[in-house]
Structures are given as structure tokens and as C-alpha cells.
Amino acid sequence: MRITLRLIVSLIVVVVFVAIVSAWFNVRQEKIKLYEEVTSRSALLADSFQESVRNNLTAKNYSGVQRLADKFQSQKQLEGVAIYDPAGTRIISSSALTPLLAVHKETVEASLKDGQDKAGTYAMANKKMFLYPLSVTLDGGEIVRIVLFTNVSYIDYDLFKIWKRTLLRLLAQMILISIVTLVVVRWTFVDPITQMAEWMKNLRIGDAHGHAPPIKGDIFAPLAKEATTLATNLQAARRSAQNEARLRQEGESLWTPERLKEHIKIKMEGRPLFVVSNREPYMHIKEGKDIRTIVPAGGLVTALDPIMRAAGGTWVAHGSGEADFEVTDAKNRIQVPPDEPAYSLRRVPLSKEQEDGYYYGFSNEGIWPLCHIAHVRPIFRKEDWQYYYDVNKKFAETVLEEIADVKEPCVLIQDYHFTLLPGMIKAVRPDTRVAVFWHIPWPNPETFGICPWQKELVMGLLGADLIGFQTQFYCNNFLDTVDRTIESRIDWEHFSAQKEGHVTMVKPFPISVDFQRPDKEAKALAEKPELKSVLKEMGLKAEYVGVGVDRIDYTKGMLERVKAVERFLEKYPEYVNKFTFIQLGAPSRTHIPQYHRFLAELHAEVDRVNWKFKAKDWKAIVFLEKHHDHKEITKFYKIADTCLVTSLHDGMNLVAKEFVAARDDNSGVLILSRFAGASRELKDALIVNPYDIEQMADAIYYSLTMPKVEIEERMTRMRHDLHENNIYKWAANLTDELMKLRMDDFKLTSV
């Protein structure tokens, strides 16, 4: 109330000040205007009077002058006229004016004393008189002075009325300002703040529903945004605490961001974590004149960003966004995430030639098809290898700069883009603990032997203290490759390779997802998605929906998936006009010819199948080719009856785990390729061979006809496993192994 009163008083003071100053200027201008009118009128009358006066006075016709003087007193506001000789003696005056002049003789004489024709205002008999003198030279050379007397008392009255009107308007404004201010403050501030306080109270005691606060509008937008983030974090922390308490009762413990943060802090003794990858977790792009932050598609970002949020440190990555270096500091660093900065992102600039040779060339036309065995011939060029070497060296220099002041730093290198990086870092900083996580499959030695630089790649990787793969099978393949490629000592009992006194441990670390993230994003949706409303947005109708979410890549089995949907509709025609498959595809590596050809073939197959089963308000397959954010993807996960993950060869494929994490209703069926690493863990999925189109078609049918009880049992078990083995546990296991390897390494090398 005090604030409202102060606001009203302040507004009234300002309005009163402005009104009074404005009225004063108005009155002043009006006064000048009225006196100018009186002066002009007096001058006009004096000019018209003087000719008659001159002739009559020259002829000594005083009676004629008197008649003229009496006639002039009938003019508006004109009290009369008088004629004085040079000595100031009155000769003639208007009859009505004569008594007044007799009383105020001294006043008139004083106004004429200096002999100048100077108009002025004087008080005479409770009146305010305006005296206008005019000198007239008679024919004989004698000079007389005509004085016009005008009553200007009305001017003061007119000015008084202006002040009166101003004050009355001011009073009305003060009342209106008070009322409007009270209403606006109540509606705009008091009520929203009261609602916000009540919402925060409910949030504190755990009764708040949803994350969005009940305040809207531009004024409270920043507060609402921060309050939403606070609510999300608080509720997530509360859920984590509840789960932690529940699991503690069961003799178990759930890995959460908070627990991982403390774990890493203890294990690493407060040292920061350094992550290196080609893809950056946050990218800046231009939208008109604005710069927008986006999260690139891909499992690597999905898996590692939660870890870096929990652990802190620095993420070194290729700055590929068009506006990336417009928002960084002089060292190409920026704090991320934008809303809640938790770690530093160090961007490395690459030229177009370097990106083409290192990334599109050697990495994705060479190593990628080599490791995935997806029947696409790998291409190795000498110039691509040189760019690959140069970029690895450039990243090594950047990492060494970041870890320069850190004792025994920990560096976690991601994937096949940096096989040379571990050895380069170790050569300069042997005290660095280096781990490599290989996200994609590792082929058998015969297949890997196709690469002309296999020895250099293996030697580079063996610079690491720890190499992690998605499955034990890939660990076995790697050690076989090492054994066949270089002279080394392979310890199959401990799964390690020793080369030149340095020991590299090789272990499986099946990567996972942040189990709570899809759940958070589902709750963040404006409303729970419904099948009909989502399909209506696309102009379609269907009773059942299947979904696929992939980066557009020939290893993901997308063509096989389209053929499986076609075969399903052929074998089970009762689902025509009832089942729609929605494929979300994120464009990827569009610079590579093989990807161009694959995308064209995929579009052609989708169009062919849709034409084959053409119907009004229905499509067999909907292909949404664009980058989708996590909230959009979660919406499709929530409405799908079945999710198809049909990779021809995949290290893990986190889409399968994201789908399971999003299904908090314990519904939905996962159809999963046996060639994806996730099939080793998600055993309650329908495991299929993506090359067997008949089997996949039958799996789609079974997913739609499976008893509800069985669906819930399968999904419940998968969600429980995923809940326990989340991304934070993966990071903790990897950190544990990395931190204890130094002691094992010392023992082995000292023997």
C-alpha cells in the first residue's frame, strides 16, 4: 500500500507541476495577447479621433470636441477620452469620465509628465485603466495630447477563469490518476505477485502442478522464465531425492546429476573435466538480424551435455555454426547452456578445405562406412588423410592450451574423428589421463585392414589410458585388430594392450540417456499430446501410429523400414487407412555424394509407397525432413503405438532408449534391430533383423495387436533397467576406471 501511495503521490506531483507550468505560460501568453488587442484598438480609435479634434480645436469649437468625446465613451470597454494641453491641464473630457479624472488628477498628470506617448495601466476608482496617449499638432503649431481611457479589468477576470479551469481540470486528473493507478497496480502488479507468491508457496511445499508460473506479459516475462527454470530444477531435485530415498531403502542408489557432480569432484579432486568432440553441444545460427542458439541433432550431444552440466569443465569442439564466433570471447570460449551456464565451450575454427577433408572426407567417407559394414564402400584419399592429421594436431594444440595450468588433467575424447589425438596429447603431457569413447562399432581385423593408415590410427588410439566401446564384442574386435596390426602385448585376462611401456585398458561402457529429460520435456508441453490433434495438424487421420527418429544416414535402415511398412500393409490390409508411419529425419552430411543419393532414393521410396496406398486424409508414410528439437520429438514418442529402430549396424542408438524414457505411461512397443548395441540391454523390445522385411512387417503387426498387459510389462522392465543404468552411471563408471588406471599402469610398467 505504501508503494502504491508513493506512486500516486509521485504521479500527482509531476502532473501538478506540469499543469501549473503549462497554465502559467498559457496565462502569460493570453495576457500579452489581450493587451496587444487593447493597444491596437486604442491606437485605431485615437487615429480616427485626432482629425476631428485637430479641426475643431483649431477653430476653437470646443462644443464640437465635447460631443465627439461623449460619443467615443460608447465604445466597448472605452471609459472615455480626454484632451490635455502641453502643461498637463485638461481641456475637454468625456462627460462620464470627468468625475473620475477629477479624483485621479495626479495619476494622469504623472503618466503625461515626461511628454512621451507611452501607454500604461493604472488603478483608478476600483478599476484598472489602460491609458493610451497620442500627441496631436494643431495647424497653429500648438501641441495637445489625446488620452484614451480603457477599462481593462475584464482581462484579470479572463485570466482568473483560465486559472480556475486549469485547477478544476487538475483536480479531475488527480482523481482519475489515483483511480487508474490503483486499478493498474492491482491488476498488473499486486494480483500477479500475490498469485506468484501463492504458486511459490505451493511449489515449496510440493503442491504446485506443472512448472509454468501463473504470471504472464512482457513485464514479468524474465521473472516467469527464471521461475520456470527454478521450478523445473526444484521438482527434478525433489524427484531425485525421493528416488534416492526409495532406492536407499532397497539397498541401491540412483545416479543423479547431483550425485555425479559430487562423485567427480571427489574422484578428480576438484579438477575440471575436458571433453573433445567434433560436434559442439550448442550452435549459434543467424535468423535475420538475430542470433539463435540451437542444439545439434545426434546421440553424442544427448549423452554428454547432461554430464558436463553436472561435472563442469571445458568442452572443445568444432565451431560449425555461422554465428558461432560472433558470440565467443577472444579465446573462442563461451559459457553454456545459455539459460544456466554450467561449463565452458571452446570452439575450434576450421577452414572449408579442412572440414571437407577431415570431416566429410576421411572421417565420414572412410572410417564411418569402414566401421559400420553397411555395404557402402569406404573411400580413402591421401589428401583427406593429411587434413585429418592436421585437424587432429590443431585440436591437440587447443586441448594442451586448455589444460596447461591443470595438474594431471582428465581428457575424454569422443569418437572416430580423433583417433590420433590421444597419442599427440600424451607426447606433450604424459601426466594427462586420457580416455577415448568410441561411439560407433569397431569391425573385425580383416575389415579394418582395408584402411591404408590402420597402423597410425591404432597407434594414436593406444596413446589413451582407457578406450571405451559400446559392447564387449567391439572390445574384442579392437584388441584383435591391435594384435594383427602392430607389435604389442595383449592381456586378454584384463583386456588391455601394452605398447612401449604404456598400458591401454579396453572396456565396454554401454552409453545411455538422461532418463529424466524426456519426462521433463513431456511435462513442459503445453498439454498432453493426443493422436488426433497431432495428425490433424498434418491434415491426416489414423487410428495407429508408428514413429522413427533418425539422422538421415544409410546405416539407420530407413529404406528397409519403408519397405517393412509397405509389406505390413500388404499382408494386413485391414490396417490400410488406419496405420500411419511418421519418420522424423534430420538432414546430415549433405556434402557427401552417397548421402545425396541415399536421400533421393529414400524420398522416391516414400512417394512410391504413398502412391500405392493413396487415400483421402491418410498417408501410409509421413516423412518430416528437418531438424526437430527434443520437445517436438517427445511429442511423437508419446503418441506412437510403436517405435522402429532398425539400424543396419549401430554402436548403441540412443533413440531406442529415448523412446523408452519418454513412455512414462508404460505403453508403446519398441521394435529394435539386433545389430544395434541397444539390443543387448533392451531385451524386452521386439528384436528384429532389419534385412528381413517379412519379420519386420510381422513385428509391426504384433506391436499393434500385443495384449495391453504384455506391453506394460515389457515397457516397465525396460524403463526400470534404463532408470538404473542412466547416463550419469555411465559417466561415473568411465570416470572410476580412468582415475584408477594410473595405479594399474604404474604397476604394469614397473614390473
Which residue segment(s) compose the domain that 423 sits in? 350-469+471-508
Task: Say if CB 350 and CB 318 are below 8 A apart.
Answer: yes
Show the CA angle centred on residue 496, arms to residues 417 and 743, nearest 5°.
100
The residue type found at 16 is V
Cα 266 to chain center, whole Å?
34
Do 707 and 691 share a domain, yes or no? yes
Do 641 and 669 share a domain, yes or no? yes
Do 484 and 563 share a domain, yes or no? no
Q: For residue 368, give the 3-state DSSP assignment.
A: helix
Q: What are phi and psi of 179, to 5 degrees?
A: -70, -50
What per-residue confidence (pLDDT) applies to 249? Answer: 45
Measured distance CA(690)–CA(635) in Å, rounded: 26
Cis peptide before 337 (omega within 30 of 0): yes
**Cβ of 148: how many Cβ atoms within 10 Å?**
26
Measured distance CA(333)–CA(232) in Å, rounded: 28
Task: Say if CB 644 and CB 548 are below 8 A apart.
Answer: yes
Residue 213 within any structural domain of the chain: no
What per-residue confidence (pLDDT) applies to 23? Answer: 83
CA dihedral 232, 233, 236, 242 (to 10 degrees): -130
Helix (H) or strand (E) holding 225: helix 221-249
Measured distance CA(44)–CA(68) in Å, rounded: 15
Domain end residue (candidates: 157, 172, 187): 157
The residue type found at 388 is Y
Measured distance CA(696)–CA(673) in Å, rounded: 9
Residues 6+ apart with CB under 8 A from 179: none
Cα 601 to chain center, whole Å?
36
Residue 301 within any structural domain of the chain: no
What per-residue confidence (pLDDT) applies to 36? Answer: 86
Do 489 and 525 share a domain, yes or no? no
Q: Which CATH number characterizes residue 494's domain?
A: 3.40.50.2000
What per-residue confidence (pLDDT) applies to 748? Answer: 39
Q: Would you say how long the chain is, in residues?
A: 751
Residue 168 within any structural domain of the chain: no
Residue 205 within any structural domain of the chain: no
Total domain count for the chain?
4
Give the strand pairing for 78-84 and 90-93. antiparallel
Domain end residue (candidates: 140, 157, 174): 157
Helix (H) or strand (E) holding 482: helix 472-485
Do 489 and 550 share a domain, yes or no? no
Task: Say if CB 143 and CB 133 are below 8 A apart.
Answer: no
Phi/psi class of residue 45: alpha, beta or left (left: φ > 0; alpha: ψ in -120 to 50)? alpha
Do 73 and 126 share a domain, yes or no? yes
The residue type found at 42 is S
Residue 190 within any structural domain of the chain: no
In SS3 terms, 9-58 reads as HHHHHHHHHHHHHHHHHHHHHHHHHHHHHHHHHHHHHHHHHHHHHHHHHH
What per-residue confidence (pLDDT) applies to 527? Answer: 59
Measured distance CA(226)–CA(236) in Å, rounded: 15
Residue 64 within any structural domain of the chain: yes
Task: Say if CB 258 and CB 240 are below 8 A apart.
Answer: yes
Task: Say if CB 646 and CB 669 are below 8 A apart.
Answer: no
Residue 67 within any structural domain of the chain: yes
Residue 24 within any structural domain of the chain: no
Domain end residue (candidates: 129, 157, 185): 157
Do 586 and 458 share a domain, yes or no? no
Mean pLDDT, each 10-residue run in order, the chain (751 residues)? 76 83 86 86 82 74 79 75 82 82 79 76 84 81 84 86 85 84 78 76 63 64 72 71 56 73 81 92 89 77 80 92 93 91 94 95 95 89 97 97 92 96 96 94 95 97 96 96 94 92 94 74 62 90 95 94 97 96 90 89 96 93 88 91 95 93 94 95 96 97 96 96 90 87 44 30
- E-assigned strands of 452-520? 466-469, 489-491, 496-499, 502-508
